[in-house]
Amino acid sequence: MIKLIKHTNFIEIIRKQYFNKLFVLPRNHFDKVLEDAKTTFTRRETRGFIKGFLQLFRFLREHTVKKELQGISRTELEEDQDGVNVKVDFTQVPDEFIIVSLARRLWRNPVETGNEEIGFHVKLYFKDEEEWVEKAASRILIKQEGSLTEDRLASMSL
């Protein structure tokens, strides 16, 4: 299912347990980013998936646009909070760009301390004819007592 979108809010955070970053790239990278995301999130083996996720991160970091763009505003969060609030008004973002969010989230079970869930997420925003579209994928790894017990594709609309 393709999700049409006009606005989004996003919190950029980079910490050990939580990584959430927004990248803006020239439109000519769309096919590569889409193919790399599909290939990465559908890999069968966990090691290959993680390696692909890191390669995707490096590519996005290397090719992201460094200048400020119309339609994207950034605001520092309060002193006691980490991160930056990013507001994207897709009606104002120039068509020649794509926006990609990449995230890794770690959740530790407070009751069963040896259990944790690691979520990996990618969202790709691009203009398709007249509307901005969101495509996404998520993959979840579950560890119990330090051993990987589950690795599954949670969602895919790429």
pLDDT tens for each residue of 15-64? 777 888 999 999 999 999 999 999 999 998 999 999 999 999 999 999 99
Residue 70 has a pLDDT of 83
Domain boundaries, the chain: 3-156
- What's 27's DSSP letter? G
pLDDT tens for each residue of 81-118? 677 888 898 889 998 999 999 999 988 888 888 889 99
What residues contact 153, with CB distance under 8 A and at least 6 apart?
41, 42, 137, 138, 139
What residues contact 35, with CB distance under 8 A and at least 6 apart?
none
- Which amino acid is residue 107, in one-letter code? W
Residue 37 has a pLDDT of 96
Buried b vs exposed e over 77-89: b needs ≥16 C-beta within 10 Å?
eeeeeebbebebe
